[in-house]
């Protein structure tokens, strides 16, 4: 039975976990739905599939990544190589992919275990792979003269793969699209361009794609330019849903996507799922559907010179990682101009398919792992009536062969291989953990899947977290003990002993007055259900104040010139200028390239306490107090903030900050606060001769 025919989905409810599962959308999205089809029903097949094929194909396949001797281009070649529209149009009569075989493409996707296929109906160059009544800038006006979307849609219906389409909002060819590229201003004036007229064209083409080819997903892109707005995104989303109430639409229809991370950063955003690009989130997101799209090599469109292919092992493990966090994996192929997939891509699809043939059950229809982290691999979950199956994807066999599942609270059934020797694996409880003993040999070098049956839905009791602003303190320190497993009680000790049922129950933040080791553990009905966590806190003597003479307002700053990749030894000399300034920050003249600064003076601590310093810079910087390095933010990087703490007695203390910028942006700021206070710029700085 094909994936799109299996119209069921049992969302995982992780009891006492708070783990990631894709089950619901924000209320604001639901409020703007243009049709009545329940969201979960629309997403059933997509969540079941978990794995799809992305296809970037168009006129950019003709130059195959090369232009005027440069070979680093892909589907953005018109923009990145600054090809005038008239020259780019010469690719249209050269597009004749006689070896295109829709059945073969679909068969490769199906064999790889993919449940859906997303192809570019139109990319940013505006060229359409379908028969559009709105323009001649499409495949029907090439020598090929065949409707690619029609053939693929029909082949998908026959081949058990759900057909979907990608459609770019941005359009570098349409005369009414704005803004123009800056580099083509002289050749292609924006005079007379009417963006509202372009929006009507966009709506007309989107309507064609939906009504003629019935995609399961409409995957928008190119929404980030300032002419596209949230209001226009809402209108386009409503149009899609009105034409097909069952249609799934990604969040790039709107403007609120937070960069390549792919998740919408506004409660008013519309769209059914987030779209991380070329990256996998560190953790899943509860209540959010998402899909990571990723290339097999370095380009989306075909580049004949790109040999940076990911291995089958990497691609399979990426798939497992994504699904274990509650997401889908959309893996890209850029077909050649003749209509075939590159041999390297075909080989990888076959390799993935070989693993999926044996282990696809651990991917399709599964939900996110209930565990926060497993050092040996990943976990996916599937409900089976009253019970559940945990699929344990082992990337690296532990040296002792012990597969440890921390805090699993369910009654255990049996463990064995999903694909491999037909034998049961020893499984037992050890305290609050479940341990499965693995044999010396693993059945699959990429990922061996162990199945563990449990009664009910997964229950994972997570160890508490001990949280404080600092590990050191001068004044009484507030320490919190937090848990992500609601309904449990936390017991703790302050003498380093293991907490038991007689230990104090945590109810409010602890106020530590002396050095202590805090131990904490979760209990359920009087029994320990998690591992014990420990954190040491030390009461320290603050650094004594200095006694400067002849104090003057401000700090000295010395300027240097040089080309560095890390902080140099500015004390070696080479000063270009010296002056006194009121604060540790950049002035307009300091924002040049190949520049360095060193500040020195005194900072006044208003009381005995531990102070938090936050040093932000682009590029590298370092903060020292009384000669001790407190924050090290060295290296070539964009704007990065790092923090450090130091215990200071009331009074003056030496402060020194060094900074450099090589090229590009230049930033420097310093803030501080006593523990529990709000960070603010460092003021009332002084300098003197000692």
416: confidence class by pLDDT, cuts 50, 70, 90: very high
Q: In the chain, how many H helices and how many E strands?
A: 10, 34
The CATH topology of domain 377-455 is Immunoglobulin-like (2.60.40)
Let me know: does 362 contact 391? Beta carbons within 8 Å. Answer: yes
End-to-end, the C-alpha distance of the chain in Å comes to: 83
Phi, psi at 194, each rounded to 5°:
-130, 105
Q: Is domain 465-539 annotated with CATH 3.30.160?
A: no
421: confidence class by pLDDT, cuts 50, 70, 90: confident
Q: What is the 3-state secondary structure (H, E, C) of 181-233?
A: CHHHCCCCCCCCCCHHHHHHHHHHHHHHHHHHHCCCEEEEECCCCCCCCHHHH
Query: Of 453, 325, 317, which Cα lies nearest the Cα of 394?
Result: 317
581: confidence class by pLDDT, cuts 50, 70, 90: very high
Q: What is the mean pLDDT of residues 371-375?
A: 93
Structure tokens at 339: 């209509």
DSSP 288: -
Q: What percent of the chain has pLDDT over 70?
A: 94
* Entry pTM: 0.81
> Taking the CB of residue 202, how many other CB atoms lie within 10 A of it?
26
Q: What is the mean pLDDT of residues 230-239?
A: 98
Let me know: does 326 contact 292? Beta carbons within 8 Å. Answer: no
Q: What is the mean pLDDT of residues 511-521?
A: 96
353: confidence class by pLDDT, cuts 50, 70, 90: very high
Q: Which of 291-300, 502-511, 656-665 has the lowest mean pLDDT?
A: 656-665
CA 365/CA 362 separation, integer angstroms:
8
* pLDDT score for 688: 86
* DSSP-based three-state secondary structure for 645: strand
Q: Which residues pair with 328 in a beta bridge?
A: 291
* DSSP-based three-state secondary structure for 390: strand
| Equal fold, 377-455 vs 549-689 | no
CA 347/CA 109 separation, integer angstroms:
12
Contacts of 632 (CB under 8 A, 6+ apart): 622, 642, 644
In order, the DSSP letters of 394-438 are ESS--TT-EEEEETB-SPEEEEEESSS-S-BPPEEEETTEEEEEP
Residue 74 pLDDT greater than 50, yes or no: yes
Total residue length of the chain: 690
Contacts of 104 (CB under 8 A, 6+ apart): none
73: confidence class by pLDDT, cuts 50, 70, 90: very high
Residue 3 pLDDT greater than 70, yes or no: no
DSSP 445: S
Task: Pick left, alpha or beta for residue 317 (phi over 0 → left; psi -120 to 50 → alpha; otherwise beta).
Answer: alpha
* DSSP-based three-state secondary structure for 643: strand
Let me know: does 528 contact 521? Beta carbons within 8 Å. Answer: yes
Calculate the CA 318 to chain-centre distance: 13
Contacts of 674 (CB under 8 A, 6+ apart): 606, 607, 609, 610, 611, 612
* DSSP-based three-state secondary structure for 486: coil
549-689 CATH choice from 2.40.50.100, 3.40.50.300, 2.60.120.1560, 1.10.1660.10: 2.60.120.1560
* pLDDT score for 684: 84
Contacts of 292 (CB under 8 A, 6+ apart): 262, 276, 277, 279, 280, 281, 318, 322, 327, 328, 329, 330
Per-residue pLDDT tens over the stretch 442-482: 999 999 999 999 999 999 999 999 999 999 999 999 999 99
* pLDDT score for 283: 86
What class is the 31-362 domain? alpha beta
Per-residue pLDDT tens over the stretch 523-580: 998 999 998 999 999 999 999 999 888 889 999 999 999 989 999 998 877 778 899 9
* pLDDT score for 454: 97
Contacts of 61 (CB under 8 A, 6+ apart): 95, 97, 301, 302, 334, 335, 336, 337
DSSP 441: S
690 vs 372, residue with greater confidence: 372
Map out the domains of the chain as residue ranges: 31-362, 377-455, 465-539, 549-689
* pLDDT score for 29: 42
Let me know: does 221 contact 230? Beta carbons within 8 Å. Answer: no
Q: What is the residue-averaged pLDDT of the chain?
A: 92
Per-residue pLDDT tens over the stretch 48-70: 999 999 999 999 999 999 999 99
Query: Of 535, 525, 538, which Cα lies nearest the Cα of 482?
Result: 535
Q: What dihedral do alpha carbons 59, 64, 68, 69 form, nearest 10°?
A: 170
Residue 372 pLDDT greater than 80, yes or no: yes
Residue 507, CA distances (Å) to 92, 479, 633, 676 in order: 71, 12, 38, 20
């Amino acid at each position: 039975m094909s994936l799109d025919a299996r119209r069921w989905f049992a969302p995982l409810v992780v009891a006492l976990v708070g783990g990631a599962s894709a089950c619901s959308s924000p209320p604001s999205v639901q409020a703007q739905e243009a049709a009545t089809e329940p969201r979960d029903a629309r997403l059933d097949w997509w969540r079941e599939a978990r794995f799809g094929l992305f296809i970037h194909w168009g006129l950019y396949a003709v130059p195959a990544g090369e232009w005027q001797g440069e070979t680093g281009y892909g589907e953005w070649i018109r923009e990145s190589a600054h090809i005038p529209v008239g020259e780019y149009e010469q690719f249209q009569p050269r597009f004749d992919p006689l070896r295109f075989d829709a059945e073969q493409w679909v068969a490769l996707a199906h064999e790889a275990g993919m449940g859906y296929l997303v192809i570019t109906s139109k990319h940013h160059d505006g060229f359409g792979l379908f028969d559009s009544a709105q323009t001649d800038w499409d495949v029907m006006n090439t020598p090929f003269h065949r409707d690619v979307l029609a053939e693929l849609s029909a082949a998908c219906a026959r081949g058990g793969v759900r057909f979907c389409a990608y459609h770019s909002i941005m359009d570098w060819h349409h005369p009414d699209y704005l803004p123009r590229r800056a580099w083509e201003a002289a050749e292609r004036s924006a005079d007379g361009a009417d963006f509202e007229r372009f929006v009507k064209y966009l709506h007309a083409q989107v309507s064609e794609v939906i009504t003629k080819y019935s995609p399961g997903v409409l995957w928008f892109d190119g929404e980030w330019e300032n002419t596209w707005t949230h209001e226009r995104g809402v209108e386009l989303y409503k149009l899609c849903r009105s034409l097909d109430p069952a249609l799934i639409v990604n969040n790039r229809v709107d403007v609120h996507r937070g960069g390549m991370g792919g998740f919408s950063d506004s409660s008013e955003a519309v769209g059914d799922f987030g779209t991380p690009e070329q990256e996998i989130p560190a953790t899943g997101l509860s209540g959010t559907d998402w899909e990571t799209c990723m290339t097999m090599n370095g380009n989306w469109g075909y580049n004949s010179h790109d040999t940076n292919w990911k291995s089958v092992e990497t691609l399979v493990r990426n798939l497992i990682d994504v699904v274990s966090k509650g997401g889908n994996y959309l893996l890209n192929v850029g077909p050649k101009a003749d209509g075939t997939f590159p041999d390297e891509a075909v080989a990888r699809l076959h390799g993935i398919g070989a693993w999926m043939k044996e282990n696809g059950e651990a991917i399709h229809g599964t939900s996110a792992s209930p565990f926060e982290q497993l050092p040996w691999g990943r976990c996916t979950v599937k409900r089976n009536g009253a019970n559940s199956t945990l699929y344990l994807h082992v990337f690296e066999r532990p040296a002792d062969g012990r597969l440890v599942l921390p805090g699993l609270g369910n009654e255990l059934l049996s463990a064995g291989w999903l694909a491999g020797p037909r034998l049961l694996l020893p499984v037992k409880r050890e305290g609050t953990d479940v341990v499965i003993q693995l044999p010396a040999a693993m059945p699959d070098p990429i990922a061996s899947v162990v199945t563990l049956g449990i009664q009910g839905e997964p229950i994972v009791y997570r160890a508490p977290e001990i949280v404080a602003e600092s590990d050191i303190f001068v004044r009484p320190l507030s320490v919190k003990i937090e848990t992500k497993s609601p309904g449990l009680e936390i017991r703790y000790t302050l003498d380093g002993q293991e907490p038991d049922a007689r230990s104090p129950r945590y109810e409010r933040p602890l106020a530590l007055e002396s050095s202590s080791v805090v131990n904490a553990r979760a209990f359920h009905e009087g029994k320990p259900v998690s591992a014990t966590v420990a954190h040491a806190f030390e009461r320290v003597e603050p650094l004594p104040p200095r006694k400067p003479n002849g104090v003057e307002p401000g700090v000295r700053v010395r300027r240097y010139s040089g080309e560095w990749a890390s902080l140099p030894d500015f004390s070696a000399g080479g000063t270009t200028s010296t002056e006194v300034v009121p604060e540790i920050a950049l002035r307009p003249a300091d924002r040049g390239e190949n520049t360095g600064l060193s500040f020195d003076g005194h900072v006044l601590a208003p009381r005995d306490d531990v102070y938090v310093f936050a040093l932000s810079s682009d590029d590298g910087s370092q903060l020292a107090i009384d000669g001790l390095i407190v924050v090290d933010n060295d290296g070539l990087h964009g704007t990065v903030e790092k923090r450090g703490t130091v215990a200071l007695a009331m009074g003056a203390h030496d402060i020194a900050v060094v900074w450099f910028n090589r090229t590009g942006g230049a930033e420097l700021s310093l803030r501080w606060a006593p523990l529990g206070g709000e960070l603010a710029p460092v003021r009332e700085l002084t300098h003197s001769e000692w």
